[in-house]
Amino acid sequence: MAGSDTAPFLSQADDPDDGPVPGNPGLPGSMGNPKSEEPEVPDQEGLQRITGLSPGHSALIVAVLCYINLLNYMDRFTVAGVLPDIEQFFNIGDSSSGLIQTVFISSYMVLAPVFGYLGDRYNRKYLMCGGIAFWSLVTLGSSFIPGEHFWLLLLTRGLVGVGEASYSTIAPTLIADLFVADQRSRMLSIFYFAIPVGSGLGYIAGSKVKDMAGDWHWALRVTPGLGVVAVLLLFLVVREPPRGAVERHSDSPPLNPTSWWADLRALARNPSFVLSSLGFTAVAFVTGSLALWAPAFLLRSRVVLGETPPCLPGDSCSSSDSLIFGLITCLTGVLGVGLGVEISRRLRHSNPRADPLVCAAGLLGSAPFLFLSLACARGSIVATYIFIFIGETLLSMNWAIVADILLYVVIPTRRSTAEAFQIVLSHLLGDAGSPYLIGLISDRLRRNWPPSFLSEFRALQFSLMLCAFVGALGGAAFLGTAIFIEGDRRRAQLHVQGLLHEAGPTDDQIVVPQRGRSTRVPVASVLI
């Protein structure tokens, strides 16, 4: 009672957006709870006790998730590996070719929030099984579409987005619930190795299977069979760990899901999440454009240089560029992801803002090399490949680090939702429209020039230069993330430990004494 007598007559309600975070004077957060130590990091035995899974089983789950992630990206870029053949078969131009990727990404983007919501509340294993089984069937069906029904190919590529959305929003949160700290970063780096490696294998499988079978349709029939294996592995190997348990103190209460609108409101107020998502959007824009158009651009460059005969109607487009670009994508992905994670891990000990700064350095460094790769294409194809190699290596430094940032600035019960909306934002403003935009700019430029192989090359060259500018903007967004990263990470840690509680529906209420006790009442009911 004495405490209430000496308190101010009108005092602010407990609100995480006001008061200092314990141990961080002046940082918005909580009511100043003195218990402010760093979260406990469990050892191997502690993790096994919490998750109910042995270290070997947890590692096996990550291996299965990596296999499926590799398969997802392999399927996504198989189409790019045989794009010139698809253009010939369906008799379409650059803008229509860009729509193939745009329709897929748009579907993926729209469905991601649905699976994000479900992934935070229901069994993640069964959601992934259903999505991947559906994706495999649709991909197989897309290989039997006749040449006069291009719209049907677009429809099936859109339906493929169901499987990718069911997996990409959920798999990283499973890894987050199995590992913590540096161990989690290492596992995420292994998981995200699958993106560039799978992308490169997509180009390689597309071009080589087409050459072996003499028909590009067989390139689309490889991943569905592997998808059946993925569903079986998911069902037999993967187990559902408790959400957020590895990050809580032993005496902390379990976290309960909040409403979907509360999740969105909290994410919108998290500047590290918003800015890192904008930075990743730039990565998606650049990679989406290069993924679809780089092999075609390299082929046109060789035609202009006289190294390759042009691709004529009715003929199979014979070029080694899809294979070479696929190998470069695999190698630069492994180098870039590993380099980014290792540099960030070493710098974290001296600079807590290392993660966003490494991402910014990667994007800002890649922009000039990507520009040079385009500018040199008419003079030397070797120089073009060298600059692409350097640019893609720097660009790939972001993949695992961005995922790690999301996982430590967002609490466990809304991570799938955060993954989903990062996917929506990065694809809505990134690779959902970038392939089509590049193709559209290329077609518009060609209209102003006499028809020739040189004009086709120059139009695509100038349109792809937009990627360098967008990459620089993404680097600026990561620099902004570095300003807020420490405070947002600390707030998430305190919330998981039960030391910080978000304001709920009573955000617009204040605390007043009533009959010797403090009571919340609406602000509008108090006359000051």
Asked whether residue 507 carries a pLDDT value surpassing 70, the answer given is no
Q: Residue 63 in 3-state DSSP?
A: helix
Going by pLDDT thresholds of 50, 70 and 90, the confidence category of residue 215 is: confident
Spatial contact of 109 and 164, defined as CB atoms under 8 Å apart: no
Q: Classify residue 12 by its DSSP letter.
A: P
Residue 22, pLDDT above cutoff 60:
no
> What would the pLDDT profile of 152-188 be if each residue is shown by its tens digit?
888 888 888 777 788 777 888 888 778 776 777 778 7
- What confidence category does residue 253 fall into, taking pLDDT thresholds of 50, 70 and 90? low
Q: Which helix (H) or strand (E) holds 162?
A: helix 150-168
Query: What gap in Å lies between CA 405 and CA 114, rounded to an integer?
Result: 22
d(C-alpha 114, C-alpha 107), whole Å: 12
Do 39 and 512 contact (CB within 8 A), yes or no? no
Q: Which of 54, 33, 37 is nearest to 249 (CA)?
A: 37
Domain 49-244 has CATH 1.20.1250.20: yes
* Cα three-residue angle 264-76-204, rounded to 5 degrees: 145
Average pLDDT, the chain: 77
Query: What tens digit of pLDDT does each residue of 85-119 get?
Result: 787 788 777 677 777 877 887 787 788 888 888 87
* Helix H or strand E segment including 185: helix 181-213
Q: What CA–CA distances, in Å, run from 39 to 25, 155, 406, 470, 490? A: 18, 48, 17, 38, 10
Q: State if pTM tops 0.85.
A: no
What is the CATH architecture of 258-496?
Up-down Bundle (1.20)
In the chain, residues under CATH classification 1.20.1250.20 are 49-244, 258-496
Percentage, residues of the chain above pLDDT 70: 79
- Most confident among 146-150, 374-378, 497-501 (mean pLDDT): 374-378
Report the distance separating Cα 370 and Cα 471, nearest Å: 9
3-class DSSP state of 243: coil
pLDDT class for 484, splitting at 50, 70, 90?
very high
Whole-angstrom distance, CA of residue 326 vs CA of residue 196 = 9
